[in-house]
Structure 1
Amino acid sequence: MRNSRTGLAAALVLVCAVASSGCGGAQAPTRYYSLLAEAGQRPSAAPTEKTLSVSVGPVIIPDILKQTRIATSKGDGSYNLSEYHRWSGDVDRDIARALAEHLGRGLGTEQVFVFPWDQAGAPAYRVLADVISMGGNPDGEATLHVRWTVVPRSGAAEPVTRRTDLSEKCPGPDHADWVAAQQRNVEHLAAAIAATILDLHGQGT
């Protein structure tokens, strides 16, 4: 009986040693990403009007995006969740901040705020966004489908609702390349929204 117990204990020690050796190996570090690219990459547009103010949000996102793990897909309704590639914050707030940054540069105004805003008075335009899906794969394309609405200040003009479908080829096979492609998608989305705001603003002047 004693020899049996000794053998079992030795086997358990061996299994634990092997497991520890495997876990202590080259484990991939977790990387964190944002849809807000570094500022200063492109020059700002000429100021349109000092009083032009815009708020961005709320941004509605699918439930699959309400977590830190990055979700990619092949467009068949299934998703892959990465354990070692994660968002640095809430995706809805990240999209709103990225849109606000691009809109500020595209419209030539510093009066761009992320919902909820605490500034006095209502903004001239409110941007609401409903992200239908954000997917694609690092070894292919990054896709972004958004339905958005620009709401002018009460009485200025009628709200305008559009849908924008974007697809950007990933420059490489990594998650970092997929995020970079999604950053460009968000930039193109902001350009479409800015064009609508400028059109509405021109009608009101």
Structure 2
Amino acid sequence: MTVVRFPLTLLLTGLLGLAGCTAYQPVPLYQLDGGNAELPADKEGVAVLLGPVSIADYLQREALLQRQLDGSLTTASDARWAGSLAADIDRQLLRQLAARLNSQRLAVAPATPGFSPQVQVLLAITRLDSGPQRPAVLEAHWRLLSGEGKLLDGRLVRLEEAHQGSIADQVRAQSLVMRQLVEQVASAVQEYGNAAPAIAKEPRKKAPAAPAAKPVPPSLPAPIRMEGEVFRF
């Protein structure tokens, strides 16, 4: 009987390679889904300044967090975000808002010189997460300001969406509540933004002209009495 012998170094190399393949399995990456957000075609749409947008500290990471039944958050070991979730939220807000308003006249704060917004959107997202047994929850506060800085509207928002438990379906549910938030903001922007140009173009009423002053006749000098009852002027 012939015994096949492998060199010890070759055997060790094979075992290490197998262990390496097991330890470094690729992890699925996820992004929020913006749906069918088409590029806006109207270059003369409502002018909107988006931001400042503040996002909770715990969302500013690549780790995909899971909300547990006791309310705690744990990091998913088999999935993560494809980049910063906060940056992805900013991109989704801008693209979806532009699509719903059909306007390319959107800018992210701080505005570039020369850009005069009709409406400014201030947004604070304080929660966006889900868990295997917890629904996707979005909590936010948005406000609208006029171009002059006057408060037009604002609302505290809490949105929930159920899912099937898998990571992929949780991301779908989180994407859906984000789209619902954008829909609310877009509706308010349309209401106030469409009124802004009409107000700006309304001709200013001229003040009624003051009545012309009546001419005052020149006063005559007082007569000087002379002897002989002759009056000289």
TM-score, normalised to structure 2's length?
Answer: 0.67
The 1:31/1:88 distance shift into structure 2, 3 A limit, reads same
Task: For 2:39 and 2:75, locate their aligned partners in 1 and report how far apart those are by CA, in whole Å.
Answer: 36
State the aligned residue count: 188
The 1:90/1:26 distance shift into structure 2, 3 A limit, reads closer
The 1:65/1:75 distance shift into structure 2, 3 A limit, reads farther
Q: Secondary structure at the match of 1:189?
A: helix
Tell me the residue number matched to 2:86.
Answer: 92
Say if 2:145 is the partner of 1:148.
no
Say if 2:179 is the partner of 1:182.
no
Deviation at 1:77? 3.6
Counterpart of 2:189 in structure 1: which amino acid? I
Pick one of 54, 57, 63 that aligns with 1:63. 57
The 1:143/1:35 distance shift into structure 2, 3 A limit, reads same
Deviation at 1:81? 0.9
Per-residue CA deviations over 1:97-134 (Å, capped at 9, x if unaligned) read: 21111111111111122334436323222212111211
Deviation at 1:55? 2.4
The 1:125/1:119 distance shift into structure 2, 3 A limit, reads same
Task: For 1:32 and 1:119, locate their aligned partners in 2 and report how far apart those are by CA, in whole Å.
Answer: 37
Deviation at 1:35? 2.1
The 1:151/1:138 distance shift into structure 2, 3 A limit, reads farther
Task: For 2:61 and 2:155, locate their aligned partners in 1 and report how far apart those are by CA, in whole Å.
Answer: 27
Say if 2:160 is the partner of 1:167.
yes
Aligned-residue sequence identity (percent) comes to 24
Where structure 1 has 5 or more consecutive residues not aligned to the other structure, the ranges are 1-16
Task: For 2:120 and 2:70, locate their aligned partners in 1 and report how far apart those are by CA, in whole Å.
Answer: 33
Counterpart of 2:96 in structure 1: which amino acid? H
The 1:45/1:111 distance shift into structure 2, 3 A limit, reads closer
Task: For 2:22 and 2:133, locate their aligned partners in 1 and report how far apart those are by CA, in whole Å.
Answer: 27
Tell me the residue number matched to 1:195.
Answer: 187
Deviation at 1:150? 1.5
Tell me the residue number matched to 1:78.
Answer: 72
The 1:63/1:43 distance shift into structure 2, 3 A limit, reads closer
The 1:86/1:57 distance shift into structure 2, 3 A limit, reads farther
Where structure 2 has 5 or more consecutive residues not aligned to the other structure, the ranges are 1-13, 199-233
Task: For 1:45 and 1:20, locate their aligned partners in 2 and report how far apart those are by CA, in whole Å.
Answer: 51
Task: For 1:61 and 1:166, locate their aligned partners in 2 and report how far apart those are by CA, in whole Å.
Answer: 16
The 1:111/1:174 distance shift into structure 2, 3 A limit, reads same
Counterpart of 2:159 in structure 1: which amino acid? L
Larger-Rg structure: 2
Task: For 2:46 and 2:66, locate their aligned partners in 1 and report how far apart those are by CA, in whole Å.
Answer: 37
Q: Indicate if the aligned counterparts of 1:62 and 1:131 stay in contact, CA closer than 8 A.
A: yes
Q: Indicate if the aligned counterparts of 1:142 and 1:178 stay in contact, CA closer than 8 A.
A: yes
Q: Secondary structure at the match of 1:24?
A: helix
Q: Indicate if the aligned counterparts of 1:50 and 1:109 stay in contact, CA closer than 8 A.
A: yes
Task: For 2:76 and 2:92, locate their aligned partners in 1 and report how far apart those are by CA, in whole Å.
Answer: 22
Task: For 1:120 and 1:88, locate their aligned partners in 2 and report how far apart those are by CA, in whole Å.
Answer: 35
Task: For 1:95 and 1:21, locate their aligned partners in 2 and report how far apart those are by CA, in whole Å.
Answer: 39
Report the more deviating stretch, 115-124 or 160-169: 115-124
